[in-house]
Chains A and B, each alone.
Chain A
Amino acid sequence: MSAAKPIMEAEDVVKRFGRLEVLKGVSLDVAAGEVVCIIGPSGSGKTTFIRCINHLEKIDGGRIEVNGHLIGYRERNGKLVEDTEANIARQRAEIGMVFQRFNLFPHMTALENVIEAPVQVRGVRKQIAAAEGEALLARVGLADKRDVYPGKLSGGQQQRVAIARALAMKPALMLFDEPTSALDPEVIGEVLDVMKALAFEFGTTMIVVTHEMGFAREVADRVVMMDDGRIIEVGTPEHFFADPREERTKRFLSKIL
Chain B
Amino acid sequence: MLAAVDWHILWQRIFHPDHVFFLALWRTIYISVLAQLLGVALGLVAALMRMSRFGVLRVLSGAYVLVFRGTPLIVQIFFVYFGANLLFGFTLIPRSVNFGLFQMDGAAFAGILALGINEGAYMREIIRAGIDAVDRGQMEAAKSLGMHYRVAMRRIILPQATRFIVPPLGNEFNNMMKTSSLVFFIGVTELFGDAEIRYSTTFKPVEYFLAVAFWYLVLTTVWSVIQAQIERKLAVSERGDELTFRERVFNAWAPVATWGRGLAR
Q: Are A and B subunits of one complex?
A: yes
The B112-168 residues at the A interface (CB cut-off 8 A) are 135, 137-138, 140-149, 151, 155-156, 159-160
Residue B245 interfacial (CB < 8 Å): yes
A–B pairs, 27, beta carbons within 8 Å: A56-B140, A56-B143, A56-B144, A86-B148, A89-B143, A92-B145, A92-B146, A93-B145, A93-B146, A94-B146, A97-B144, A99-B137, A99-B141, A105-B141, A105-B142, A106-B240, A107-B238, A108-B245, A116-B145, A116-B155, A117-B145, A117-B147, A120-B147, A120-B155, A147-B242, A148-B240, A162-B141
Q: Name A169's contact: one of B137, B141, B145, B151 (CB within 8 Å).
A: B145
CB-CB under 8 A from B160, the residues of chain A are 105-107
A120 touches B151 (CB 8 A): yes
A92 touches B148 (CB 8 A): no
Q: Name B140's contact: one of A89, A103, A104 (CB within 8 Å).
A: A103
CA of A148 to CA of B146 in the docked complex: distance in angstroms? 24
CB-CB under 8 A from B19, the residues of chain A are none
CB-CB under 8 A from B151, the residues of chain A are 120-121
CA of A104 to CA of B137 in the docked complex: distance in angstroms? 9
- Point out residues on A near B: beta carbons under 8 Å: 54, 56, 85-86, 89-90, 92-97, 99, 101, 103-109, 116-117, 120-121, 147-152, 162, 165-166, 169
CA of A148 to CA of B241 in the docked complex: distance in angstroms? 8
| Interchain pairs with CB closer than 8 A, number | 79
Q: Name B238's contact: one of A101, A103, A106, A117 (CB within 8 Å).
A: A106
A95 touches B242 (CB 8 A): no
CA of A92 to CA of B238 in the docked complex: distance in angstroms? 29
CA of A103 to CA of B160 in the docked complex: distance in angstroms? 13
Proximity bits, B229-265, A CB within 8 Å = 1, else 0: 0000000011111101100000000000000000000
**Which residue of chain A is the closest to B150 with respect to CB atoms?**
A85
CA of A56 to CA of B239 in the docked complex: distance in angstroms? 29
Return A81 CB to nearest CB of chain B, in Å: 15
Q: Specify which of B138, B145, B148, B237 lies most central, judged by the most chain A CB atoms within 10 Å of its CB.
A: B145
Interface size on B (CB < 8 Å)?
Answer: 26
A121 touches B146 (CB 8 A): yes
CA of A92 to CA of B152 in the docked complex: distance in angstroms? 14
A89 touches B146 (CB 8 A): yes
B149 touches A92 (CB 8 A): no
CA of A85 to CA of B150 in the docked complex: distance in angstroms? 10
CB-CB under 8 A from A151, the residues of chain B are 238-240
CB-CB under 8 A from A89, the residues of chain B are 143, 146-148
CB-CB under 8 A from B140, the residues of chain A are 56, 99, 103
CA of A10 to CA of B248 in the docked complex: distance in angstroms? 46
B148 touches A103 (CB 8 A): no
Q: Specify which of B141, B156, B240 lies most central, judged by the most chain A CB atoms within 10 Å of its CB.
A: B141
CB-CB under 8 A from A120, the residues of chain B are 147, 151, 155
Q: Name B145's contact: one of A86, A106, A165 (CB within 8 Å).
A: A165
Q: A106-B240, A169-B146 are in contact. List 12 more A-B contacts (CB 8 A).
A: A56-B144, A90-B146, A92-B143, A92-B146, A104-B141, A116-B155, A116-B156, A117-B145, A120-B147, A121-B145, A149-B239, A152-B240
CB-CB under 8 A from A99, the residues of chain B are 137, 140-141, 144
CB-CB under 8 A from B156, the residues of chain A are 105, 116
Q: Name B148's contact: one of A85, A95, A104, A105 (CB within 8 Å).
A: A85
CA of A196 to CA of B240 in the docked complex: distance in angstroms? 31
A103-B137 contact in complex given A89-B147, A117-B145, A117-B147, C-beta closer than 8 Å: yes
